[in-house]
Chains A and B, each alone.
Chain A
Amino acid sequence: MDKSLQVICMGLMSHFGLIFFIYPERIITSTHKGHWEPILIQCVIFILFLSLYLKGLSYFPEQNIISILKILGKAFSFTLLFPVLLYLVITTIELVSAYAEVTNIIFLANTPTWAIITLMIFISTYIAVKGIETILRTALLLFCIFFPLILLMLLICFQDIDWHNAFPIIDTDFSFFRQPPYYTSFFSFAIVFSFLGFLPKKISYNSKKIMLAVLFLIPFFFLSVYLPLLTFGNETASTLLFPFITTLDKVQLQWLIFDRATLFFALSLVTFIMLLTSLLLWQSSIIMNQYFPRLKQKYHIVALSVSIFIICLCIPGWQETEKLLWWNTPFRFYILIVLPLIIFLIGVRRKRVS
């Protein structure tokens, strides 16, 4: 059955969750002029390799990534999948600890972090244990509830923008390539759509529709960076930890019922992240299943989430989370660039043989 809509909702939603918190700060730190250039380059890379990935997967309509890689032999598939597993697990740790910290900074100042982490992991694990179909259905539901809210919040952010702040618009020396924050900002691109390769064959999707949805997503990357930039100007925006959240915070609307619109915005994004976490848990459990096939999948998920929980507790603060983001960079490019290439090449070779 065609489940494109659910798959698209899942993808868009997770991206929204990733775009608005950390991403704008990374881009604004990495350059001080022509911010559209780094974003555009990222988008092009993203679209290019996603289409390669989809093309590669389309050569094997009945198989998921695990069985595709098995064509190369068991040892090969084990080594190729190991970085993926590592990336999935580390990303989950990052997501949980970063968003617990965000929740703490933004609205639950008195709540200890471990309580927030427990809540996030507990809910994600529960959803992940129920399987991929539950995850996708929940995605559709949450998307319908929260997406209009997010659009509204984006619209009201246009309140005090000054277009002059977009200048200087051209950056000729591409200095952002030398900035570590730029490479960590790929965080918002890499992870989400890798789940397409893990879907069982009963969940089918239309590649064209997915590419269209991704095109629809691109403007949001620009908005998340440019809205704070146009309101505050580069000099001020670069001093903020969550530029977009601060921009939303300063919106003054008499007719809006909530005094602090940010709260609702941040909460809806945190729910998105919870669902993404459960998706990542589910993906990593599938890979784990390859290594330890005797254990049932749900025990894998529980074991993973317990270990993730323990590691999250060991992360003391925001700086360590940022460090983790940086260490993870090689794996990020592996999953963003190398994995789609491998799948694509296997697909092409197989087509030539047959």
Chain B
Amino acid sequence: MRSIIICSKLVLSLCILMPLSGCWDIKDINHRAFPIAMGITKEGEKFKVLLQIPISSEGVQKQEIVKGTGLTILKAVEDIRTNMESSVDLLHIRIIIFDRKLVEEGGMVEPINTFMRIREISSKTVIAICDDNIDAFFLTLKKNLEKGINLYEFFEKYAGWTPQISLTRLWHVYRSLNSYTQNVAIPMVRSGENTPVTYAGSAVMNKGKIVSKMDPKETLLFNAFHGNSMKGRVEVMEHATIMIVGNTDFHKGELRNHIPYMFSTIRLDVVIQERRGKVSNAIIKKELEKVMANRFDEMLKRFQKQETDVFGLGQYYRNKIPYEELKDWRKKYYPNLEMKLNIHTTIQNEGNIKTIIDK
């Protein structure tokens, strides 16, 4: 009798193993497609979605570009799903590229909210704007990618990212749509000849619309302001070429008579690489500081006019302006902001050649 009980218990516990396969409505990995990049544009009233799907067959990487249209983004994806022979899984999308036209019309808000809502797409996904015709962009991309280059590595800090590129992820964009005091800059790309993409500066956004632009040099400064490393950047000036080897930043905000004052310091460590004519280090330092400060001022003025706070300067006034009034930061306070930017340069070394300056 006892052995029967033990036996039946054993059989019962073996039955528990069955649900251990775990997956519901499982689809084999051979029958799933994992797109890596998504392109979004608008055709009339409808969204058009392009997906770049890598397919490896017999050891050779191939790329496939599929398209779908629909009234919403997910409807367009559904359209692709219906037409594909395998199921489409958005889990591994690493980069989403918006058509510039769509963004200029303000059509970015809805897709961003959708992507944050559905959990399939990771909030770490890189967001970029395509400055070209997006169909042509994906076509050239496909050609280039078949040479074995990956698009998303262009933006990854461990691979192809350089400080001239603004690196913006889905959650940054989502945050800027809601935040009172922060806006976002999104990198713009065009199709390249030999490289997967050509970088064309950054788009400065306000409420999901492009309001201004930053060229790569300005983006560099923008990144420095946010404390991102500028290491290895080369700056060509009138009298010299220098390489930045280190940077630190410090910011302080003050509010006097409802006018915000901002005191910022960016410290740069540089190495001199080229020298034109006989100029002293002091001149080079001064020139660099002037170039940077002017560039920054010009940039800030432009953004203040457009009421877009990409630098996140409003963050420094969160403790100074009552929360109820912070809502109007961009309209009431930001345009009047006075910025005092100090750039301190330290020349770390001058390379292998000594400089002798005649007195």
Q: Which A residues fall within an 8 A CB radius of B? A: 32-33, 105-112, 115, 119, 162, 164-165, 167-169, 232-233, 235-236, 239, 246, 249-252, 254, 259-260
Contact = CB atoms under 8 A, between A and B. Distances in A.
B315 A250 contact: no
Contacts of B190: none
Interface in B100-150: 119-120, 122-124
A169 B122 CA distance: 31
Contact of A169 (B158, B171, B319): B319
Contacts of B175: 232-233, 236
B263 interface: no
A33 B323 contact: yes
A302 B312 CA distance: 57
Q: Which 3 A-B pairs have the closest CB atoms?
A: A167-B319, A167-B318, A111-B24
B213 interface: no
Contacts of A239: 178
A112 B23 CA distance: 11
B179 A252 contact: no
Contacts of B179: 233, 235-236
A164 B25 contact: no
A110 B25 contact: yes
B123 A250 contact: yes
Contacts of A233: 175, 178-182
Contacts of A107: 119
Contact of A168 (B19, B157, B158, B318): B318
Interface string B316-328: 1011001100000
Interface string B246-274: 00000000000000000000000000000
Contacts of A249: 122-124
A236 B322 contact: no
Contacts of B315: 162, 164-165
B250 to A, nearest CB: 14
Interface residues of B, number: 27
Contacts of A254: 157-158
B42 interface: no
B152 interface: no
B296 interface: no
Contacts of A105: 119
A246 B123 CA distance: 8
B330 interface: no
Contacts of B319: 164, 167-169
B48 interface: no
Contact of A246 (B158, B171, B181, B316): B171
B199 interface: no
Given A164-B316, A236-B179, A32 B171 contact: no
9 contacts: A110-B23, A162-B312, A167-B318, A168-B322, A168-B323, A233-B178, A236-B179, A250-B171, A259-B122
A105 B120 CA distance: 10
Contact of A165 (B119, B171, B174, B318): B318
A249 B122 CA distance: 7
Given A33-B323, A119-B19, A236 B120 contact: no
A250 B316 contact: no
Interface string B22-53: 01110000000000000000000000000000
Contacts of A232: 171, 175
Nearest to B174: A236
Nearest to A168: B323
A112 B25 CA distance: 10
Given A33-B323, A164-B318, A168-B319, A115 B24 contact: yes
A107 B318 CA distance: 36
A165 B157 CA distance: 26
Nearest to B24: A111
A119 B20 CA distance: 11
Interface string B174-199: 11001111100000000000000000
A119 B24 CA distance: 13
Contacts of B169: 250, 252
A180 to B, nearest CB: 22
B25 A252 contact: no
Best-buried of A115, A235, A239 by chain B (most CB within 10 Å): A235
B183 to A, nearest CB: 12
B120 A109 contact: yes
A111 B25 CA distance: 8
B180 A106 contact: no
Contacts of A32: 323
A252 B152 CA distance: 14
B119 A235 contact: no
A211 to B, nearest CB: 35
A122 to B, nearest CB: 9
A115 B22 CA distance: 10
Contacts of A111: 24
B20 to A, nearest CB: 10
Given A168-B323, A169-B319, 14 more contacts: A107-B119, A109-B119, A110-B23, A167-B319, A233-B175, A233-B178, A233-B180, A233-B181, A235-B179, A246-B123, A246-B171, A249-B123, A252-B124, A260-B122
B26 to A, nearest CB: 9
B181 to A, nearest CB: 8
A164 B122 CA distance: 26
A165 B179 CA distance: 10
A109 B157 CA distance: 31
Given A164-B319, A168-B322, A110 B171 contact: no
Interface string B158-180: 10000000000101001100111
